[in-house]
Amino acid sequence: MEQLINQIAALKASIEAFSEQDAEAYRIKFLGSKGLVKALMGEMKNVAAENKKDAGQLLNEFKIFAEAKYESLKATDTGAAGQQINEADLSLPGDLLPLGSRHPISLVKNRIVSIFQRLGFAVAEGPEVEDDWHNFSALNLPENHPARDMQDTFYIAQNPDWLLRTHTSSVQVREMEKGKLPIRIICPGRVYRNETISARAHCFFHQVEGLYIAENVSFADLKQTLYFFVQEMFGKDVKVRFRPSYFPFTEPSAEMDISCLICGGDGCNVCKHTGWVEILGCGMVHPNVLNNCGIDSNKYTGFAFGMGIERITMLKYQIKDLRLFSENDVRFLRQFTGTI
Ligand code: PHE
């Protein structure tokens, strides 16, 4: 018993002598599972039976004393973290956060949109899940029309009338149906086609289509609009040519080529040694389309055009594989910074 009393006295002295302001260090040294107070408690078993009661009381009182010291240290100690803040130089600049960059498709889309906005075109958007009317029938593609095969369509299983839009011409139909003329819109958006994924084709891609309907709109207006676009997008030196083509919703129809940006028209792999690359389809809106949408085709005429954003982006940045756009490889995506 006497030995225990001496031990308690010695430990009490060392607690009183503990001068650090670190509550956690104190806790570990004295109160922790391997601490000195705990070890002293273990002495209980060596105390003779008749002294156990007194010894227990002494130890309990001591434990309360040791814990009180811990509480008072905690109250004054700001802790290790607190001290670090006090010592830190608050005038230092913060760590730089890595900046993200826009997806190349977004960059090019924004650029295309801003060029047409300068010509007075407004942006119109519509649903990606469409009905047959807006994607096909209204556009002079009645059921069983062979030209429907030009665009391999994903249909929605629950309803044979629903599909994933194959082009954003569907948005143009919705706009024409509103009946507010004149119309001058561009329709950027994602479209879907059931194609095998390869370097040159994907089951989804992005388009910007345009539509202008007013009185006396002519093919010359269409050409001039597209000339302006090409020069803004690719520079003044790029040459343009129109080839006759066929789309059910335009008559006459054309495809527009630009001189190859890689070889300047001399011939290379990208232009398949022709010196030209196709970038869009266009034409005068077919009178049937105007009539289908409630517009008087005797009074109004219009032009429409449509281009794939991926294709323009590939030409502009000389990207050879379409799949890069949807693989989310940051080493690829990080290269496109700023605006264009
Ligand atoms: N809708 C056509 C397509 O997706 C593009 C186009 C639009 C062609 C307007 C002519 C006029 O291929």
Q: What is the 3-state secondary structure (H, E, C) of 113-135?
A: HHHHHHCCCEECCCCCEEEHHHH
Nearest atom (ligand 1) to Cα of 167: 4
Q: What is the pTM of this model?
A: 0.73
Does the pLDDT of residue 79 top 70, yes or no?
A: no
Note whether residue 191 is domain-resident. Answer: yes
Kindly state whether residue 36 falls inside one of the protein's structural domains: yes
Alpha carbon distance 168, 206 (integer Å):
9
Q: Are residues 133 and 266 in the same domain?
A: yes
Q: What pLDDT score was predicted for residue 211?
A: 98
Choose which residue among 136, 186, 207, 209 to substitute to test ligand 1 binding: the one with the highest number of ligand atoms within 8 A of its C-beta.
Answer: 209
Closest of 299, 295, 259, 292 to residue 275, by C-alpha:
259
Q: Give 211-239 pLDDT, tens digit per residue.
A: 999 999 999 999 999 999 999 999 999 99
pLDDT above 70 coverage of the chain, percent? 96
* DSSP result, 143-169: TT-GGGGGSPPPBPTT-TTEEE-SSTH
Please check the confidence at residue 44 and state whether its pLDDT lies above 60: yes
Provide the CATH number for the domain around residue 203. 3.30.930.10
Band of the pLDDT at 129, cuts 50, 70, 90? Answer: very high
Within a domain: 246: yes
Task: From 86, 115, 150, give the residue that closes a domain.
Answer: 86
Residue 189, domain extent: 104-336
Q: Which helix (H) or strand (E) holds 208?
A: strand 204-214
Is residue 204 within 8 A of residue 192, CB to CB? The reply is: yes
Q: 178 and 73, same structural domain? A: no
In a domain, 259, yes or no: yes
Residue 162 and residue 31: Cα distance in Å, rounded? 72
Among 86, 117, 136, which residue terminates a domain?
86
Report which protein residue has its CA nearest ligand 1's atom 4.
Answer: 167
- 208, 307 in Cβ contact below 8 A? yes
Residue 104 has pLDDT above 90, yes or no: yes
Predicted confidence at residue 119, as pLDDT, reads 97
Q: Are residues 224 and 318 in the same domain?
A: yes
Q: How far is CA 276 from CA 222, 224, 261, 314, in A?
A: 20, 19, 9, 15
- Say whether both 181 and 237 belong to one domain: yes
Rounded to the nearest angstrom, the distance between the alpha carbon of 320 and the centre of ligand 1 is 23
Terminal Cα distance for the chain, rounded: 88
Position 339 confidence tier, pLDDT thresholds 50, 70, 90: low
Domain match, 235 and 328 both: yes
Q: Do 68 and 167 fall within a single domain? A: no
| Nearest Cα residue to atom 6 of ligand 1 | 306
Ligand 1 centroid–CA 58 distance in Å is 94
In DSSP notation, 294-326 reads T--TTT-EEEEEEEEHHHHHHHHHT---GGGGG
48 and 109 co-located in one domain? no
Ligand 1 atom 8, closest CA = 281
Which of 198, 148, 152, 165 has the alpha carbon at shortest distance from 310?
198
Residue 97 lies in a domain: no
pLDDT tens-digit map of 240-294:
999 999 999 999 999 999 999 888 889 888 788 999 999 999 999 999 999 999 9
Query: Which of these three, 86, 112, 136, is where a domain ends?
Result: 86
pLDDT of 83 above 70: no
Domain membership flag for residue 95: no
pLDDT over 90, % of the chain:
59
Q: What is the pLDDT at residue 175?
A: 98
Number of domains in the chain: 2
Instruction: Tell how far the Cα of 107 is from the centroid of ligand 1, in angstroms.
Output: 22
Provide residues with CB under 6 Å of ligand 1: 167, 169, 209, 247, 250, 281-283, 304-306
Residue nearest to atom 9 of ligand 1 (CA): 305
Q: 249 and 301 share a domain?
A: yes
- Same domain for 82 and 108, yes or no, is no
26 and 169: one domain? no
Domain co-membership, 174 together with 315: yes
* Sequence-distant (≥ 6) Cβ neighbours of residue 162 within 8 angstroms: 129, 130, 131, 132, 155, 156
Task: Give the pLDDT confidence score for residue 80 in this predicted structure.
Answer: 58
65 in a domain, yes or no?
Answer: yes
The answer to whether the beta carbons of residues 226 and 240 sit under 8 Å apart is: yes
Let me know whether 35 and 152 are in one domain. Answer: no
CA of 253 to the centre of ligand 1 (A): 9
The answer to whether position 179 is within a domain reads yes
Pick from 210, 256, 251: nearest CA to 234: 256
Measured in angstroms, how far is the CA atom of residue 169 from the centroid of ligand 1?
7
